[in-house]
Amino acid sequence: MKAIRVHQTGGTEALRVEQVPDPQPSTGEALVRVEAIGLNFIEVYQRTGLYSAPLPLTPGKEAAGRVISIGPGVTQVKVGDRVAGVDFKGSYAELALAPADRLVKLPDSVDSRVGAALMLQGLTAHYLATSTYPLTAESYCLIHAAAGGVGLLLCQIAKRQGAHIFGTASTPEKADLAAQAGAEHTILYTRENFTERVRQFTGGRGVDVVYDSVGKTTFAGSLDCLRPRGMLVLFGQSSGPVPPFDPQLLNSKGSLYLTRPTLGNYVATREELEVRACDLFRWVEDGTLEVRIDRTYPLEQAAQAHTALERRETTGKVLLIP
C-alpha cells in the first residue's frame, strides 16, 4: 500500500510517499480502507520533532473509510461497515489499523469526508461545550480561533445551547465565518485588544468561560476576560506552551478556574465515545451542525497540506484523500 512516512524530523520535505506492506489486524483490531484522512496540528508537531514519536512514523490518527478485515475477538464492527475514528495507527495511508472498540459506525447520510472531518474536532467541541463547561442560555463564552476547525463547530454547538458567544479571528473574512457559525460579537485580535472588547461587550462583567486553543499569546488576556470564579479552558497551544506561573494569580483575578483537558479523558469509554459521536451525527443530519471542509489534497500532497496548516491559511478542516 501507499503511505506517508517520516524517517527524520524536520520540514515538510520529511513527509515521504512510500510503498509499504499492507498491515494485518491482530486481536481487537480492524483494518480499514481509508477514504478520507483528517489533518491535525499534532502531526505537524510530530513531524518537526516538537512532540516526540518513534521513527520511522506514519502520521495521523483520524480517518474514515470501510472495514475490510477484522482480527480475533472483534465484535464492535464487521467487514463492510463504514466507520470513522481518532485512534488509527498511522492514517496517512491507503490502509490503516485501529482498535475496533474505538471506531464508530457512520450513518448512511454522513459521507466519509464529513466523517473524517468531524471526529477529532467535533468530539472536542462537544466535550468542551457539554462537559468541561456545560453551556446554557445564561452562559457567556469567548472562543479563540473561532473560524478554525474546532472553533466553527464549537460556535455552532454553543449557539445550539443558547449561549452568548464572542469569537476572535485574525481577518475580516474569518470573522464573517465565525459570525455565520453563531458568534454574536467577533473581535479581530490582530487589530483590537480582545480583553478590552470583551469587557466592553459585557458591561465590565467578563465572560463565564474562555475556550482557548492558542495558548502562549492569549493566556494572560484570556484570564482577564473572566468574571470572578470563571473558567479558562486551555485545550491547545498553537502559539506555543504557556510559561510556568504562580497559581496565586488565579486567586488575585477572582478565584478563577483553569483546566487543561484532552479528548482521551472525555471519550474514555466506548459508551461515552458513541454518545458524543451520535449527537454529532444527529446534528449533522438535522442541519444544526455544518462541517466546513476548507480544502482537500491527494495523499501524495501531504507536504502542501502541512504548509497550509502552518501558515494558518485554512478555515475549517483539511483532508487528505488516498
118 pLDDT more than 90: yes
| Domains: count for the chain | 2
CATH code for the domain in which residue 145 is found:
3.40.50.720
Same domain, 295 and 255: no
The pTM of this model reads 0.94
**pLDDT (tens digit per residue) in 235-286:** 988 888 899 999 999 999 999 999 999 999 999 999 999 999 999 999 999 9
> What's 81's domain CATH number?
3.90.180.10
> Looking at the domain assignment, is residue 125 inside a domain?
no
- What are 26-83's pLDDT values in tens digits? 999 999 999 999 999 899 989 999 889 999 999 999 999 999 999 999 999 999 999 9
Closest C-alpha among 108, 140, 104, 110 to residue 32: 104
The arrangement of strands across the sheet holding 185-188 comes to 185-188, 164-169, 140-143, 207-212, 226-234, 257-259
Strand partners, 29: 99
In whole angstroms, what is the distance from residue 85 CA to residue 119 CA? Answer: 6
Q: What are the Cα distances from residue 216, in Å, to 74, 113, 168, 219, 306?
A: 43, 32, 15, 6, 22
